[in-house]
Amino acid sequence: MRFNIVFIKSEDRFNKRERQKIENTIKSVVKHAAKLLKFKQNRIINFTVYRLDGKFTFGCTYSKDWIHLNVIKKFEEEDLSSAIYHEMHHIARGYYFFSKKRISFLETLFSEGLAVIFETEQLPKRIPVYAEYSDDFIKKWLPQVRKEGLWRTDFSHDEWFWGKRGKPYHLGYKLGTYLVNQIKKHNPKLTADKLTKKNVKTLLRLSKVKL
């Protein structure tokens, strides 16, 4: 497993100690994730890192070999690790921004849910806000998934994941996490890494959720 790390220049840069901490975290997490997700040894992944003036650290998988990390000023190593695990699962599943294939709404929910579960399986003491939901929350919003259209590829990502047009923030992540948790409930031995390559119809069947 090979990878490159590039720090994007900005006015408010990371100091030498912070850069080293980020590099060490990336190396450690990538090594562990690559083993779990069975990456080939000759696989190359490029990481770009930008210092973000925000409230939380997060990532985005742009292509099969490129992960971008937005890291806040006072970042926690566990938060950074969580973001890397999440994005590494996306690459393993072949789910990324600049994809040539048209990705359905249900595929998106499951892919995000699997990535969330993968990160929480590695860091069980850290439960991110986008993985938390109540029974009432699921009862209210799960029926809306079918109304949206399970196989639509023109759904609004901003609406379902980023709280636009009156929907809750992180709604899609929470619903996806619920769906994968149902798989684990009925199949306790199935971890997120073992589900990485399963297609959507198989995942839905394993969840036993009626949509």
Instruction: Let me know how long the chain is.
Output: 211
Residue 141 is predicted with a pLDDT of 97
Task: Render each residue's pLDDT in the chain as its tens digit; 211 residues.
Answer: 888 999 999 888 899 999 999 999 999 999 999 999 999 989 999 999 999 988 999 999 999 999 999 999 899 999 999 999 999 999 999 999 999 889 999 999 999 999 999 999 999 999 999 999 999 999 999 999 999 999 999 999 999 999 999 999 999 999 999 999 999 999 999 999 999 999 999 999 999 999 9
Place of tokens 């589900």: 195
CA pair distance 44, 66, nearest whole angstrom: 9
21-41 pLDDT per residue, tens = 999 999 999 999 999 999 998
The domains of the chain are located at 2-93, 105-207
Q: Where are the alpha helices (DSSP H) in the chain?
A: 16-36, 77-93, 105-122, 135-148, 157-161, 171-186, 200-207
Q: How buried is 32 (Cβ within 10 angstroms: 0-12 exposed, 13-18 middle, 19+ buried)?
A: middle
pTM: 0.96
- Give the model confidence (pLDDT) of 118-147 as tens digits: 999 999 999 999 999 999 999 999 999 999
CATH architecture of 2-93: 2-Layer Sandwich (3.30)
d(CA 10, CA 52): 9
